[in-house]
Structure 1
Amino acid sequence: MTKVSREKIIREARELFREKGYVGASMQDLADKVGLRKASLYMRFPNKEALVPEVLSLTLDETFTQPDIDGSDWYTAYKAVVRAIADSLTDRKRCVGFHLAYGVGDDTPMAKEAVRNFFQAHRDRMTDILEKAMPRDIASITATDALVRLEGATLLLAVFDDPGAMERAVDAVMAAVRD
């Protein structure tokens, strides 16, 4: 049997969640995708819900480990974060966080909390950057509006295959902080 890394399982779970959502993705799908028996997968992750925090943590880490984020002036750091989010959404034409948000509920409390924490972490990190240039309450609203614009552009990308929508969203998000 081939040894499959934990990271590979998490990455493949992320793609399954993006493709099929939480409800549509199964542990059997994931086991097939990574070349494991389902029982072996369950030895590493007790259930599908246990994958959600891992998937979102990986995605969050990728977004906020851009070279221009730490140590840069606030505008350069914010632009790097916005670009990282936009590129991730454009590459996959869907947001794993949204797919999970609409698939988890009260019957999956760990997953529901992970989704909430994922979006809260995005907003908090963006707010932390923006508060170098504006009051924190305004920075929080600005970060929230930026996430709404970027995530909304994903809809047009997925439905109409319109990558221009994402670029317009990025331009609008950056224009909002230049004013």
Structure 2
Amino acid sequence: MNKSDKPLSTLWGCELSEANKEKTFSTEESNLQHQLAVRSMCLGHTAKDEFNIIELVTGSGKEATEGIPVATLHAKSMPTVNLTGVELHPPVTFRLKFGSGPVHICAEHVAFEEDLSDEDLEEEEEDEEIEDEEEIEMSPEKPVKKQAAKNGGAAKRKKPEKAMDSTLSDDENNPPKKGKGRGRKPQAQKV
């Protein structure tokens, strides 16, 4: 993985209050894929003894969802909430639906290159296989080693066959094989 392939991660945060009831996270860069991973929401130290309901709106314009409540905070009973695993694609709007706050939202903004389509990945894999085959054909190694390099492991060698002893009878030359009933001769019944 190159350094350019690593995602760029930065902290993102905002404060919702009586004066600022909503905050939108959006990006303009089209060559990168963006994600907002919400980590926590907590009340500020000046919060009143009241419920504060925070809702989330994803998308924009006609594609915007209705506000979805994601947290209800109260200074005495639940001043903070952890939201690990909430990963959103911009634009995302946080809104203080009820209460006067202040509510602090902490998130992680992750930007990374767009994923290649399945067709592009298949083409890259085919190109790599062709390059590997060309390298093997051009090398002056023996054919056994070529096959081993293709398979990614050591070449297997055949075991030398044992010479048959012509002095032994067929039964002695071919001992019975192990397993269920293989190679067994019927025994004479005793009277």
TM-score after normalising by structure 2: 0.22
Greater relative contact order (CA < 8 Å, ≥ 6 in sequence): 2
TM-score after normalising by structure 1: 0.23
- Higher fraction of strand: 2
The structure with more radius of gyration: 2
- Higher fraction of helix: 1
